[in-house]
Structure 1
Amino acid sequence: MAAVMLQGTGSDVGKSVLVAGLCRLLANRGLKVLPFKPQNMSNNAAVAQGGEIGRAQALQALACRVQPSIDMNPVLIKPQSDTGAQVVVHGKVVGMLGAADYQHRKGELLHAVLQSWNRLKADADIVIVEGAGSPAEINLRAGDIANMGFARAANVPVVLVGDIDRGGVIASIVGTRAVIDADDAAMIHGFLINKFRGDVRLFDDGYTEIERRTGWPGLGVIPWLAAARQLPAEDAVVLDSAATSEGAITIAVPMLSRIANFDDFDPLAHEPGVKLVMVPPGQPLPGDAALVILPGTKATIADLAFLRAQGWDIDIAAHVRRGGGLLGICGGYQMLGQSIEDPDGVEGVPGSVAGLGYLPVATRLTGDKRVVDVTGTSLRDGAAFAGYEIHVGQTRALGPVQPLLRLADGAEDGVISADGQIAGCYIHRLFDHPAQRGAWLARLGAESDGVAQEHRVDQALDALAAGLEQHVDIDRLLAIAGHRP
């Protein structure tokens, strides 16, 4: 079994996308390839074997043309406040930890990581491993399980990725070599330059200088690949610089402080007739929006307070008075009800708050989490959908209601107002299925392109693999990984 780990000089250098592209490239070569990320920190989660893993690893599994498994991301950290996070191990929540506590206890999780690693590598020709953050964060090195701590424990060679688009790539790679200890540096067998724009020959001298100063060989300079824009992003940080899509129909999504699973809206962003606006804090919701969607969140009560602090509750009230549509997904659905109770302090301090009051439902947060893939149809038009649920809490009707969806097992989910203006449900990736997305857009007066999101992503993965084949020394990468043809 061969393996190689991509680590980055910092966050958001493109590791997740590169791992996905390499997985598809090697799968296209006929290898049994699997992805692995020891520790992920993200509120974008996916369902795997009845548990949850980072969405990036689910994408990478798709790139490998295999089903996702909990072993692909054994430790998932889901930030719930500025100082605390939910810890998921082997797909299941094991508790809450403060940031300082986690730094002291993360070494205990290495055993769980290596359990998953040993199971995974036994079933693959090659495993492509993704690091987290940067190995240059030497203040976090003790007990590390995300980068060099794992690489050395599992004896996996490393390729370092630098992002030239953000500037300072020479310093970031050479600086990494300078600050990490000698044993960690010995794990690095090469580097990649990512997100290059322009004439690559202009970087020849810089490339050579990195090789001279580090002693590491370069494995390629990867340009901006358009296919990467078709893939879901892992981290909410990308929303700060996300371009607004264009189209005649405006759909607005307020960017909550703990927004989760924001790739729910990627299919809308690709629709030519839709202008998807991710509204940052401090900005009003657009007055011309045909539909406002309240997204999922890792902390419903805290983000409801955040929403009100931005004045978005006032904007929503005006939007509804104008006849605009309103949809809540997961935590956003909970916000649309009459109240949210947290008697056991699942999200923090025990208590109860008033919801926005648009739907006749109430939510009680509980410690039990529902994690399940689902399929079904809309009750009002029969449009199919396929998605998943990941949430705590149970939402109950406070009187007669009209359900929004029927699941394949016969259960009903969500609520829709009698006039169809306001709705909510727990289903993530509701818009992936072209029939479901098309039905929503038709009600807004727009046409859908009819493309299934999974098909769009699959095509993008093939295009990304082709780009990497052209710009990366794949044979040398395989040699570093220990693969023998």
Structure 2
Amino acid sequence: MAKAIMIQGAGSNVGKSLVVAGLARAFAARGLRVAPFKPQNMSNNAAVTVDGGEIGRAQALQARAAGRDPVVDMNPVLLKPETDTGAQVIVQGQRFATLRARDYGQQKASLMPKVLQSYHRLAAGADLVLVEGAGSPAEINLRAGDIANMGFAEAADVPVVLLGDIDRGGVIAQLVGTHAVLPLEDRARIKGFAVNKFRGDPTLFAEGMDAIAARTGWAPLGVLPHFAQAWKLPAEDVMDIRSRPGGALKIAVPRLNRIANFDDLDPLNAEPGVSVEIVPPGRALPGDAALVLIPGSKSTIADLADFRAQGWDVDLFAHVRRGGHVLGLCGGYQMLGREIADPEGLEGPPDRTRGLGLLDVTTVMRPEKRLSLTRARDRASGEPVEGYEIHLGDTTGPDGARAWLEIDGRPEGAESADGRVRGCYLHGLFAADGFRARYLDRLGGTAGQAPYEAGLDATLDALAAHLDDALDLDRLLELAAPVC
């Protein structure tokens, strides 16, 4: 019979996703069949699954850590924000609806049967289910109808370990304060706690751990030092992506308001000869970049309007005049064309807008979302590429005759007549070592990093060892309860 334990956080971004990934690799190394599970996630960084749906990118990383293929049951509810007050709701891998936050709050409890269905299907093929919460259970104003934290833990009868983040300060208040505000039945469901992101000698926090244990009655499971290699793993939240100074070849990436599927940047970040500069709103695109990479977007037309409002269109045109290269991926590809039409209002009000005009193509949004794990070939070099497609819209036009990728014999992407502006729908292409080396060479740089995929697994191994050294994993396993 499978057992389960749930890792909840004393706040958002305390490191739950990374810790679950490390636990998945550590327990899988002990011979356990481990399955990651997050009842509800909110992220525009999604992954395509082997069963034809989409889940949060963090759950795909956790699946990799566990040695499993990602499937939709690992994240049955995914919220993909499209505006400040609304999101596309993905249920068991497929688009369910687009709802305002208030409307979703009224409907989320009705999704619990689907959540439990996915949970039990996963548990049927596992020895251990590692459940990740979302945000914090201390948000007691969201407790009614909750499916992400204590609502799920209660419905599935799963014990909880609470994770605090000492890096942001006040970790004793985080954990003891959570204990104070929770109702008694939720408080009792928490069996242990751990402290994450400690910098320095963890033994210096021994008295702090004792103070938390004395005030809560929860078992202390350890103090986890800051994991310096965390940047090498795909980030889930846009606020976790950072500029990484490195080599002489600079790649500038405008941080779109609804940036999506930005894991495209990870292999480039790992290259020692490359500097990836994430350009925040309010700052100009740097004039010394070899490449401006426009990433994916969850709301392409709205992000294009914001792109212009930032003055980035002017910067981009100047970059092109200087002979710089431009690459648009997915939503970024659509922005580079002459026009984007959304006649059915799939990403907002029905609209038709002028694109940046650097590629002679037009895009029409269609209700059918393309979700596909894809193998492609770079036409110029013959290098194989593996990635995924996840988009609304069809893009056609004269520059598509210079498609630079080929997927199952069909052309993919578009290129300007001078070859300096390119776009395509394929995410993940830079993870292919041969293609990445050829592409960087074309920009005047070199690729010297060890194989990217092998580097991911080495980092997950290091993370597992990091957790094994710092946390009482035997005690954590004892706290897990049988799935019922």
The TM-score bracket by the shorter chain reads over 0.9
Q: Displacement of 1:480 after TM fit?
A: 0.2
Change beyond 3 A, Cα 1:451–1:386: farther
Q: Displacement of 1:483 after TM fit?
A: 7.4
The equivalent of 1:426 in structure 2 is: 425
- Structure 2 residue aligned with 1:139, among 128, 141, 151? 141
Q: Displacement of 1:373 after TM fit?
A: 0.5
The equivalent of 2:298 in structure 1 is: 298
The equivalent of 1:74 in structure 2 is: 76
Deviations 1:211-247 (A, max 9, x none): 00111111000001123221111111213xx243221
Change beyond 3 A, Cα 1:476–1:399: closer
Indicate whether 1:176 and 2:175 are aligned. Answer: no
Summarize the alignment of residues 102-251 of structure 1 with structure 2, pairs less than 5 Å apart: 102-239=104-241, 242-251=242-251
8 Å CA contact retained: 1:245, 1:270: no
Q: Displacement of 1:449 after TM fit?
A: 2.0
The equivalent of 2:39 in structure 1 is: 38
Number of paired residues?
481
Q: Match of 1:420, as an amino acid? A: G
Q: Displacement of 1:400 after TM fit?
A: 6.6
8 Å CA contact retained: 1:333, 1:425: yes
Task: Give the TM-score taking structure 2 as reference length.
Answer: 0.98
Task: Give the TM-score taking structure 1 as reference length.
Answer: 0.98
Larger mean Cα displacement after TM superposition, 444-453 or 136-145: 444-453
Summarize the alignment of residues 454-465 of structure 1 with structure 2, pairs less than 5 Å apart: 454-465=453-464
1: CA distance between counterparts of 2:225 and 2:268? 27
8 Å CA contact retained: 1:271, 1:449: yes
- Structure 1 residue aligned with 2:58, among 44, 56, 59? 56
1: CA distance between counterparts of 2:207 and 2:132? 28
Larger mean Cα displacement after TM superposition, 61-70 or 415-424: 415-424
Indicate whether 1:285 and 2:285 are aligned. Answer: yes
Q: Displacement of 1:457 after TM fit?
A: 0.9
Deviations 1:372-398 (A, max 9, x none): 011111112212211000000111114
The equivalent of 1:315 in structure 2 is: 315
8 Å CA contact retained: 1:189, 1:480: yes
8 Å CA contact retained: 2:402, 2:414: yes
Indicate whether 1:387 and 2:384 are aligned. Answer: no
* Structure 1 residue ranges without an equivalent (≥5): none
Superposed CA RMSD in Å reads: 1.2
Q: Match of 2:447, as an amino acid? A: S
Identity %: 58
2: CA distance between counterparts of 1:55 and 1:381? 29
Change beyond 3 A, Cα 1:169–1:400: closer
SS at match of 2:348: coil
* Structure 2 residue ranges without an equivalent (≥5): none
Change beyond 3 A, Cα 1:164–1:478: same
2: CA distance between counterparts of 1:89 and 1:451? 37
Larger mean Cα displacement after TM superposition, 225-234 or 438-447: 225-234
Deviations 1:336-358 (A, max 9, x none): 00000010000111010000001
The equivalent of 1:371 in structure 2 is: 371
8 Å CA contact retained: 2:399, 2:414: no
8 Å CA contact retained: 1:415, 1:425: yes
Summarize the alignment of residues 328-347 of structure 1 with structure 2, pairs less than 5 Å apart: 328-347=328-347
Q: Match of 1:283, as an amino acid? A: R
